[in-house]
Chains A and B, each alone.
Chain A
């Protein structure tokens, strides 16, 4: 089963939830950090990495003696990574999404596959827990291919917990698309609610089963609760605003390992997700 943890707003507790769920799964689990722009799960789980695989994308390389500047490659590139001018072709590899269209349309065979390393996938174990994360090269903006490379490690032999990046843009879509269930973590504040509604619209568009977790319950107001009730969204659990959880986080320690009794809420969340996934027929689309 693939369970994604997403949020809309950043800093609501995605990693806290994902790390603690993975640690009290009770079954063989895998933690996949899909926030490749700033992965942080390893700070809490401290895995030993056994594999390191750079991810290289094919980008156009031009042979100037063959290019007559016809510009068909630039016409077909929706990401504007190529410009044809009198002196030949100007290529911007950092804008390329590696679709290969320019190579297909070039009538003179002037383009070949160059290489651009966008990041690295590292995998290993933290005790029994399988661990995978991606690290995007600094300055690189194209996260989705690296996220997909991280997700390739998700196999059905384990409960795969995917820690998604914040927001609702392409990297989030790449992280949650096709998952069996999405948990949206929010905090009970106006900001939390605002970004939660965006995240809800996103997962509804992707037709993914989802539920909401309120973190730091006790601060703010009850508008998130009222919103969930109005929209008929299951509010699976409220994690209390507990200084001990924050202190454990600040030391890089998972709450379940340091705060007595706190694992109950995470086990309850997992049980509710499993019940819900069993009750929902498989999607068959967008997988």
Chain B
């Protein structure tokens, strides 16, 4: 399964970025093969509006089946739901820690956005 982890850098040892739409990177990890594909979220960092929407589209295009992040707003959640991507909240520590927590089923799947837009 391909999971996208919001991160402050491109590596497994980098810290999680708790924001979704304006995360610095998405580190896409294959939980079976352990292959790592970092995706830079540069253009959305400076978006005037709709960063979460475009971030959701980007992780969908990169074939992620789940998003592991800190928080998720309503518009991003709507796009991720439409894309059939599960959203797992409360990620913390490094990217590797977060993937491990996900594999151990310690992250719960969100049924709705947990923050308003522009919360950070």
Contacts and interface: CB of A to CB of B under 8 A. Distances in A.
A86 B83 contact: yes
Interface in A248-281: none
A164 to B, nearest CB: 22
Contact of B79 (A71, A83, A95): A83
A13 to B, nearest CB: 31
Given A71-B57, A83-B54, A83-B57, A88 B49 contact: no
Interface string A78-104: 011111111110101001000000000
Contact of A86 (B53, B54, B60, B78): B60
Contact of B78 (A74, A80, A90): A90
Contacts of B56: 83, 85
Contacts of B79: 83, 85, 90
A80 B73 CA distance: 15
B75 interface: yes
Contacts of B66: none
Contacts, number: 46
Interface residues of A, number: 15
Contacts of A85: 56-57, 60, 79, 82-83
Contact of A80 (B50, B61, B82, B83): B50
A221 B50 CA distance: 43
Contacts of A86: 60, 83-84
A79 B49 contact: yes
Interface in B51-82: 51, 53-54, 56-57, 60-61, 75, 78-79, 82
B47 interface: yes
B51 A80 contact: yes
Nearest to A82: B53
Contacts of A82: 53
A234 to B, nearest CB: 35
Given A82-B53, A83-B79, 20 more contacts: A74-B57, A79-B49, A80-B49, A80-B51, A81-B53, A83-B53, A83-B82, A84-B57, A85-B57, A85-B79, A85-B82, A86-B84, A87-B82, A87-B84, A88-B82, A90-B53, A90-B79, A90-B82, A95-B50, A95-B53
